[in-house]
Amino acid sequence: MKPIPVNPSRVLFYGVTGSGKSSAARAYAAASGLPEFSADDDIGWLPGWQQRIVEEQRQLAADLAARQRWVLDSAYGVWRDTVVPRAELIVALDYPRWLSLFRLVRRSLRRVITRQPVCNGNVETLARLFARDSIFYWHFNSFTRKKHVVREWQTSPDMPPVLAFRRPKDLANWLAGVATAASRPGCDAADSRSP
C-alpha cells in the first residue's frame, strides 16, 4: 500500500452511488481549505436534466484536473482517466450495498419532498426516481463495477494512493482528524493518515 500523503493538494472522492461522496468531499474541503468541485454541477449536468456531451465533460474535467488544488466529489467513467492521474489521494467510500442504498433512498425521498435543487437547479420527482435512467437504476447498474474499480486502484502500483473506508464512522474520525490538524498552527491539514 502506498503511503498516504501528508498534505495532498488534489483529492478525489470515489464510491458507489449513494455512499455520501459529495458530503464527504465537502467536509474535507472545509477542513483542508482546498477548493471543492462537483462532478454533477461543474462537469456532468445542465438544467433540464440534460447531460453535457462527452467531449465537453472531458474538457471541463481536464481543465479542473490541471489546477494545482482541488477536491472532487466523484469521477464519471467517461472522463475518469483525465482526473485520476492528477490526484494525489483517492478517498474511496467502500460501503456495503445495504448502507449505500439506504442512504440513497433516504436522500432521494428528502429531495422529492423538499424539492431541493440538485445538479445545476434540477429537481428530483417521484416519476424521475422510477424512470429507466433513475439514480436507483444507476446504483444497481454500477455498484459491482465501482467496487471492482476501487479494488483495482488499491492494488495498482500506477495509481495514486487510495485511502478506503468501509464504515462511515471511520471516515468521520478521519475527517475530524483533518479538521483538528488544520486548526493547529503550523500543522498540515491532512496529517491524519490512517482511518
| Domains assigned to the chain | 10-96+145-179 (3.40.50.300)
- Record the pTM: 0.85
**CA-to-CA distance for 95 and 167, rounded, in angstroms?**
6
Eight-state DSSP code of residue 85: G
**CA-to-CA distance for 26 and 63, rounded, in angstroms?**
20
Mean pLDDT of 21-27: 95
CA angle 87, 93, 99 (to 5 degrees): 160
**CA-to-CA distance for 25 and 39, rounded, in angstroms?**
11
**Which range, of 71-75, 168-172, 179-183, 184-188, averages the lowest pLDDT?**
184-188
**CA-to-CA distance for 123 and 114, rounded, in angstroms?**
9
pLDDT digits (tens, 9 = 90+) for 137-155: 777 787 888 889 999 999 9
Mean pLDDT of 157-178: 94
